[in-house]
Chains A and B, each alone.
Chain A
């Protein structure tokens, strides 16, 4: 039968309170459930936040599990201005709602249950609250066994909060008691069954989701492991073959280089897409996100990138020449992965927009306190009025040759500029008529296009520099 009890779960409540209202709802503490996006298991964490004195922001007080004291997490939390905080369902809303209800003192089970509940169901009979049920998958428990013990202890203290005891309460109402109590008993049993069913459904969904995630993760892992093994096998022969009596003949060495190039290319394009999607979200990739704890050699990096593109270039009839003007290593502080992305974006463009049978020249040199990197190609070129616009988001250069269809996101150069500028450097392009090229027996007017990157050898904010 239909009872007049009500089920709530997070999503429903999320609609009732705008995030800006939350700060008024909580008195001294704000609880936030924050998506960390680490993994399915570690997706959620509860942090206790306290409004700062001037009310402009929140400061971090404590959080529910071990991640909280890690520096990036704290930085992340502190970065939320009041009213714009990322709030998820079923935490403070549940808590606040409970505070307004009769029944067990919500303070007594706060915040432990909040951390784990992904379903909270106050059960009312005849407008009267008789129980509040929490059900959760206890995702966090596996990382924090001690937390599990605390929760078990709390549950013992608050026996009302589970289906079994709800049923037991119902059983105490024996036949022969007044009709209203019999009705109550019926409703309690019905409520318990519904809650159980709901929890089970959610659990089954969660299991199915987990299975799918796992399948994807395992496939990803297998693919990467296979690529890793192949890459190392090939590179080992290239680097150490002569030392161990396995030096490959030139044709095989060339084939190995192409194989490595394909693997690099696959990896770099995947990485590029990831970073591009990050850049799309916000200007908010602060400089501290870059990993600047160590010096690297820019020549090694350029060499690494050129190796990745040589095979692809060759398949399009383009040769990549590597020119390194200074003999000494060009070691200074930069984030390897992001600068590698810049260089591979530039090489990718150079190869894409080149005429067949031409050269792409990659060079690196040192001038005063700067490392200068240039990638030059001969191809369709960029019209003068578009030389600065190519760095704009989603901008794709009009090529002079409308017949060439070239794929791209229009983000590569935007991302490159963001990265280079975050390193305190600069990036710019030049394009000028530069002779003739022949492609498919057609004589084409070629444009020499050069992308320049300059990076400071000493960072201004670096105390050592």
Chain B
């Protein structure tokens, strides 16, 4: 029986613009789903098992959604802080996360949150794929 293909969730509000990234991941033998909002990302992570989340931290929370006191621009960061603080029940505890970001504002915070990788845009395709491979490999290596 064939090995199951690693499953990656790509959370990016402009997934169409980064279609080539998902194309490349699929050509590399991974299953990729995309979501375009933070709320959508949470729902998908609760519903299905993934091996990796690639998260663009600057993405909208979701239509008509609001988290009290959170600037919409920071919804992706808030997702990670709340997840790590256990405020979002039902999300997997040890899922590797690669953060892809268009700003350096939250660098220290995100690294402190223990993400698998922190990649600033623009990031080369080979490097993105290398980061994904490394994260999925680590995940497979877990007991």
Q: Which residues of A contact B (CB under 8 A)?
A: 36-39, 41-42, 66-67, 70-73, 141-143, 145, 148, 214, 217-218, 220-225, 227-233, 235-236, 239-240, 243-244, 260, 263-264, 267, 274, 294, 300, 304
Contacts and interface: CB of A to CB of B under 8 A. Distances in A.
Contacts of A220: 102-103
Interface in B87-143: 102-109, 111-113, 120-128, 130, 134
Highest count of chain A CB atoms <10 Å: which of B73, B107, B108? B108
Given A235-B124, A235-B125, A225 B102 contact: yes
What 9 pairs between A and B have smallest CB-CB spacing?
A: A142-B69, A70-B112, A236-B20, A227-B122, A221-B102, A235-B125, A224-B102, A224-B121, A228-B121
A236 B69 contact: no
Interface string B71-90: 10110001001000100000
B111 A239 contact: no
Interface of B: 14, 17-18, 20-21, 23-24, 27, 58, 68-71, 73-74, 78, 81, 85, 102-109, 111-113, 120-128, 130, 134
Contacts, number: 110
A326 B27 CA distance: 29
Contacts of A66: 81, 85
Main secondary structure of the interface of A (DSSP, over half): helix
Contact of B23 (A230, A236, A274): A236
Contacts of B108: 36-38, 72
Contacts of B85: 66
A395 B21 CA distance: 42
B106 A39 contact: yes
B103 A232 contact: no
A235 B127 CA distance: 11
Given A39-B109, A143-B69, A236-B23, 20 more contacts: A41-B74, A42-B106, A66-B81, A67-B109, A72-B108, A143-B81, A218-B73, A224-B121, A225-B17, A228-B18, A228-B102, A228-B123, A229-B17, A231-B123, A232-B20, A232-B128, A233-B20, A239-B125, A264-B124, A300-B126
